[in-house]
Structure 1
Amino acid sequence: MPIFEAILFAILQGVTELFPISSLGHGVIVPDLFRWQMDRNSEAFLPFMVVLHLGTATALLVYFHRDWIDLFRGFFRASGKPDNPQSRLLWQLAVGTLPAGLLGLLFEKKLRLLFGNTTLVLVFLSVNGVILLVGDRLKRRGGGKPLDALGYGSALRIGFAQALALFPGISRSGSTLVAGLGSGLDYASAARFSFLLATPIILAAGLLEIPKLMHMTGDIPFALIGVSGVISGVCAYLSIWFLMRYFNRHDVEALRPFGWYCLMVGILGLIWKLAK
């Protein structure tokens, strides 16, 4: 893999993993569109992606480290019972993590077969755009509850929404944000829950693959893989910083720009594929 492609892909992964525009979708579309030399079937590509995901997870942990410290303090203070807001939120995150975790273990290998189908990815990206536009309509109908008002049923529904990101082109943060808005949360609270919910899934996806790294060889030097992971993490941190401020400042239609972007890229991409 050429160095500039690895660096650009790391930037792309770091930004699109947390922006509601699908990292998996862009990871398929961009290399195909610009005819990159990278081979997603290469033995070296898996460790490359693992390190990029660990970079993203590290960025999430660093940005929300105070939240996680408070959550576990509250959990141990309540002896594991949902007797305070922090302990209750930690349990809700655990409940919300189950659907994507279980469905990912059961169907990830089958769903990976979709990654090479650029046309299908473009369709899913268009669907993602519609989901985001629907989310803004849900927000205009009301809501605005803080995160403390979230129930366990809503946390589970948001968890099932996160599982939609197993389809390349559907955004993890986008689907969970919309599900949070549908549960009555305001943008900032929905975004906070979405990013906290994404942390264990992204981290686990990387950690589970680490043992395989020791037995793999390929055309990507380990130094380049490490540098790419750092770049992905830095870009992810900057993305979180921007998005949390963005959602705090917008009361309505915060998802609309991302929704129209996904629709535009998806539809124009399909036209381009059909015209080839």
Structure 2
Amino acid sequence: MTFWVLVLLGVVQGICEFLPISSSGHLVLLSSIFGVQESLFVSIIFHLATLFAVVVIFRKDLWRMIKNPFSNEVILLAVATIMTCIIALIFMPLLKDSFAGGILPISFLLSAIFLFFSEKRHTKPGKIGIKKAILIGLAQGVALVPGISRSGTTISAGLIAGAEKKECAKFSFLLSIPIIVASLLLEIVEVAKEGLSVNINIVGLVVGGILAFSIALVSIKFMLKLTEKTNLKWFSLYLVFMSILSGVIFW
């Protein structure tokens, strides 16, 4: 991978990881457009960058949970994470082929539909409890498919379940930490088995990683502010565009 491709991928990772538009879908699409082979090593570096970003933003919350590991917040995050792992263990072996670009038009469109209708509820929003955490965790499992936004799906699931929007966003970002860590571990194991399969520009990788971290910090803060002020359904218009674009490219 060249310097500029790695820089672009880092920027896209930083922008898309925490906005409800699917970073995995964008990276698959860009890799196809530039004709480059996806690299697990690059994915590891960029996942580390976005992991550091969410840890920095929520460091006070994380420290509080470390000091009180049996708090309600920790239990809810653990329940949601377990639900995600169950979905992953059951369906991921069946979905290996979905990581090709052909699934993107469908998954982008499904994300758009889910996001658009997520705020059309008729109940007063409440706190996230066990039932809501289970639903959010299951939704995150579905979002393992490229093109289905993890943040968009988990926030939407929380909204549909009747949780308050800002709380859904914060819960979604905290929930990303164990999932990113799990993804990192799996990718590290794969790299250890297979080795590096593509040539990588190290300077580009470092710059891309720094950009992914820096932009992810801004993206998280932006998303938290956005959930207070506007309807997330406007992201669905962009996802419809991405569905059409990926359909033109892959179909």
Q: Indicate whether the TM-score tops 0.5.
A: yes
Q: Please state if 1:7 is matched with 2:7.
A: yes
Establish whether residue 262 from structure 1 lines up as the match of residue 239 from structure 2: yes
Contact 1:2–1:38, Cα closer than 8 Å, also in 2 = no
**1:153 counterpart letter in structure 2:** K
The verdict on how the C-alpha distance between 1:108 and 1:231 changes in structure 2, with shifts beyond 3 A counting, is: farther
Percent of residue pairs bearing the same amino acid type: 31
Equivalent position of 2:106 in the other structure = 123
Query: Residues 273 and 54 from structure 1, CA distance in 2 versus in 1: closer, same or farther, beyond 3 angstroms?
Result: closer
* 1:63 equivalent in structure 2: 57
Alpha-carbon distance change, 225 to 110 in structure 1, aligned in 2, over 3 angstroms: farther
Deviations 1:151-193 (A, max 9, x none): 1121011100001111111110011001111222221111011
Question: Which residue number corresponds to residue 84 of structure 1?
Answer: none
Equivalent runs, 1:49-198 vs 2, <5 Å: 49-75=43-69, 80=70, 87-116=71-100, 118-138=101-121, 141-145=122-126, 149-198=127-176
More contact order relative to length (CA 8 Å, sep ≥ 6): 2
Question: Which consecutive unaligned segments of at least 5 residues does structure 1 have?
Answer: 81-86
RMSD: 2.0
Deviation at 1:58, TM superposition (A): 0.9
For 1:19 and 1:194, the matched residues in 2 are separated by 11
TM score, norm. by length of structure 2:
0.90
Task: Give deviations 1:80-131, integer Å, cap 9, x for gaps.
Answer: 3xxxxxx001100000001222333454354232222x33211110111000
| 1:205 positional shift | 1.2
1:222 Cα shift? 4.0
TM-score, normalised by the number of residues in structure 1: 0.83
Name the aligned partner's letter for residue 15 of structure 1. I
Query: Which residue, 213, 219, 238 being the options, matches 2:199?
Result: 219
Q: Which residue of 2 aligns with 1:28?
A: 28
Aligned residues: 249
Aligned-partner residue type, residue 8 of structure 1: L
**Structure (1 or 2) with the larger CA radius of gyration:** 1
Tell me if structure 1 keeps the 8 A contact 2:104–2:246: no
Please give the alpha-carbon distance, in whole angstroms, between the structure 1 residues aligned to 2:87 and 2:250: 31
Over 3 Å counting, the alpha-carbon distance change for 1:108 and 1:234 in structure 2 is farther
**Residues 56 and 233 of structure 1 are in contact (CA less than 8 Å); yes or no, is this contact kept in structure 2?**
yes
Change (3 A) 1:268 1:227: closer
Please show how residues 244-255 of structure 1 align to structure 2 within 5 Å: 244-250=224-230, 254-255=231-232
Sort the Cα spacing of 1:204 and 1:89 in 2 relative to 1 into closer, same or farther, 3 A. Answer: same
Tell me if structure 1 keeps the 8 A contact 2:132–2:163: no
Asked if the contact 1:29–1:122 (Cα under 8 Å) also holds between the matched residues in 2, the reply is no
Structure 2: distance between partners of 1:270 and 1:211: 33
Which amino acid counterpart does residue 194 of structure 1 have in structure 2? S
Match for 1:246: what amino acid? L
